[in-house]
Amino acid sequence: MNGYCGKMLFVNLTQGSVEERTLTEEMAKQFIGGYGIGAQVLFDMMKPGADALGPDNIVGFITGPLTGTGAYFSGRYTVVCKSPVTGGWNDANSGGFFGPELKKAGFDAVFVQGASDKPVYIWIKNGTVEIKDAAYLWGKDVVATEEALKAELGDKKIRAAMIGPAGEKLSLLAAVINDGHRAAGRGGSGAVMGSKKLKAVVVRGTGSVPVAHPDQLKAANQEILDTMKHGPEAQLAEGFSKFGTTMMTATAAVSGDSPVKNWDGVGVVDYGEEGAKKFEGSSMDPKYRVKKYACANCPMGCGAIYEVKGGKWPVGETSRPEYETSAAFGSLILNKDEEALLKCNHLCNIYGLDTISAGATVAWAIECYEQGVLTKEDTGGIELTWGNAGAVVQATQEMADQSTAFGQLLALGSARAAEKIGKGAEYLVAVKGVELPMHDPKLGPGFARTYAVDPTPGRHVKGGLGIMHMKSPDPSKYNPEGSGEPDLHATVVQEVLNAAGVCLFKDFTGVQDISLKLIPPVTGWTFGAEEERRAGLRIFTMRHAFNLREGMKPADFQLPARCVGEPPQTQGPHEGVTVDHKAFIRNFFQEIGWDEATGKPSRSSLGKLGGMEDVIDALDL
Amino acid sequence: MRITIRFASLFKALSHVDQDRVEVAEGTSIDQLCRTLGQKYKGLPFESEQTYFVVNDKVSKRDRVLQENDEVRIFQMIPGG
């Protein structure tokens, strides 16, 4: 089968067993890859009600059909599991080099069930699989772990998806990290690995992935490159290649894209442009940049490696923080110290924490402290005030290593922390326990629907109208009339992109319909707009069905009032803005044909879609 | 009258200019300001529908007439993760 290895690996850590199963072309066509195949497998193999941190949860590492084929922007893989944060479906994806290496090693996906009594890692090399002792790795950060694995295995070219100490200690903010700093961050996947005593999945391969029409793929890649370099977005692509997502940090802070002061502030009033400018690549690169960084098969290369040699928080080589991190540890907490940002980013990476939820949890804690909900006794003496850089670094260190009671509280994430202390819930900015990312629906109103309705709530990388709205200054974007059709279209297109392993930063090239350009030459399939729509809808529905089977309903996914302007802000760019989120959500449900109260799809719509028979049965539609 | 221009994100990256002060006639709209700036800063996407003009911290339409000492922030929003 072109574009795939045709094999999935199933490892049972309780039994210590390994099994290969065939990935059929029918399944590949229906669910593409990534979280599409992941959702189908977990829906099939897991029972509802499984403990997310117990052996019955399954964690999967899944590539897409483009991964490892040389197709541009195809370096991503996805981690799936039941989320210990939401109790429902979880997926998160990451770039770097792990995904392509897994396919070169012979597998499209690895699913891990059960739990080990002692720390282990899974070693996959050119089709052979071993479960190996990881006791000596337990407690090591991700950089040290990777170095130790390279030494043990005698191979510097291994790639590994792993957890740091945060995942080992079951922090609900724990991410899966590969290549030292690329993170499948959100939803607590790292804690699921930790609960299985699974330190890492380590891969090495020298194989290749079959491509149906190599000449056509080469031509498609060339078209992408030409558009990137000479098309209408060429200037943007050039800037993005240089500075990555940090190109926008200051702009986002003052335009109202970045949330400020735990979503209760106004950028131009509470934070200011000058502070945020220090967090832009153009300001930081001259001081800290060591080299550029690009993920596998990326012609853009939007990353950079920094080094902080001196100052209060030297960290050695570290990755340039992405925009999300810069806002979460910047405007959200009113921090203007870029070296504190770099330190917090580094701590999150090496301990294995999701930087969005980590920064947002600190923001929640600061507001609690400022409002007297948390005291100096609670924080162990940390003066946790807005913009106190030293306090933020200390709190992040303790959250990462859980060396103190306060750190252990923060490691739960904001929602569980509020639950544990029985107060502070009024300052939470989360949906179903997931802290919101750094794009304010008051600037991009479409984000409200995506944050509330996607099966993984509170995500900016899931489809919808948010990005389009955010990019447009036209105030008509606040009118939800007619939003259902374009919202659903954008959603299902993005489902396929994510499932295929495509990086969403392809947006910066100006290339349109990239799935339709790359999937046909790689797979040899007829894959046009209709096939894309059906696959995207099937994937979205399967992820949603996982949540429905867990007893979830739309009312469980409530948007926090601050993110939609209830009440509206009285100054700044969002003065007077309230997002009619209920209308955007209603329009989406009507368009997709789901019941707005129960969330259930109709039997007939799933019947027409095909490939959803198990969902129809399980949900008794 | 004098207007303060602040370039951000793509505009700043392309022009290497952070801030400028320009002299324009009374009654100048944002649209007319763009034509003036287009002469000075070649190749910047002033005409793009995705270009924001934020006058004194408020998102403004292109037909807005500017006043003495207005501050106009010009940028495009770039999604990122």
Query: Within a domain: residue B59?
Result: yes
pLDDT at A1: 96
Let me know if domain A7-204 sits in CATH 3.30.300.180: no
pLDDT at A282: 87
Encoded tokens for A249: 């940090």
Query: B25 vs chain A: nearest CA distance in angstroms?
Result: 25
Query: A327 vs chain B: nearest CA distance in angstroms?
Result: 10
Determine, for residues B49 and A504 on separate chains, whether the beta-carbon distance falls below 8 Å: no
Q: How many CB atoms lie within 10 A of CB A440?
A: 31
Query: Within a domain: residue B81?
Result: no
The total of structural domains in chain B comes to: 1
Query: A55 vs chain B: nearest CA distance in angstroms?
Result: 32
Interface TM-score (ipTM) > 0.90: yes
Query: Within a domain: residue B41?
Result: yes
CA gap A275, A250 in Å, rounded: 8
Cβ-nearest to B78 among A247, A460, A472: A247
The count of CB pairs under 8 A between chains A and B is 90
Determine, for residues A255 and B52 on separate chains, whether the beta-carbon distance falls below 8 Å: yes
Let me know if domain A446-618 sits in CATH 3.40.50.10260: no
The domain locations on chain A are 7-204, 235-255+260-428, 446-618
pLDDT at A219: 98
Provide mean pLDDT across the span B64-73.
96
Q: For position B59, which CATH number holds?
A: 3.10.20.30
pLDDT at A233: 85
CA gap B75, A320 in Å, rounded: 23
| DSSP SS3 for A605 | helix
Q: How many CB atoms lie within 10 A of CB A165?
A: 22
The yes-or-no verdict on residue B81 having pLDDT over 70 is: no
Cβ-nearest to B14 among A235, A248, A252: A235
Spans in chain A with pLDDT lower than 70: none
What's the domain range around B15? Answer: 2-76
The region, left, alpha or beta by phi > 0 then psi within -120 to 50, assigned to residue A274 is alpha
Residues of B in contact with A475 (CB under 8 A): 59
CA gap A80, A39 in Å, rounded: 8
Residues of A in contact with B13 (CB under 8 A): 239, 242-243, 247, 282
**A342: amino acid identity, one letter:** L
The yes-or-no verdict on residue B14 having pLDDT over 90 is: no
Determine, for residues A572 and B73 on separate chains, whether the beta-carbon distance falls below 8 Å: no
pLDDT at B9: 82
User: In the Cβ-directed half-sphere of A310, how many Cα atoms lie within 13 Å?
Assistant: 1
- Do A323 and A151 meet the contact criterion of CB atoms below 8 Å apart? no
For chain B, give the mean pLDDT.
92
Question: Domain A235-255+260-428, what fold?
Answer: 1.10.569
Query: B23 vs chain A: nearest CA distance in angstroms?
Result: 24
Give per-residue pLDDT as tens, B37-48.
999 999 898 999
At which residue do the structure tokens 């044909």 appear?
Answer: A593
Which of B19, B57, B76 has the most A C-beta neighbours within 10 Å, making it the best mutation to test the interface with A? B57
- CB contacts under 8 A, B 2-31 vs A, are 6, 8-10, 12-14
Query: B42 vs chain A: nearest CA distance in angstroms?
Result: 12
pTM for this entry: 0.97
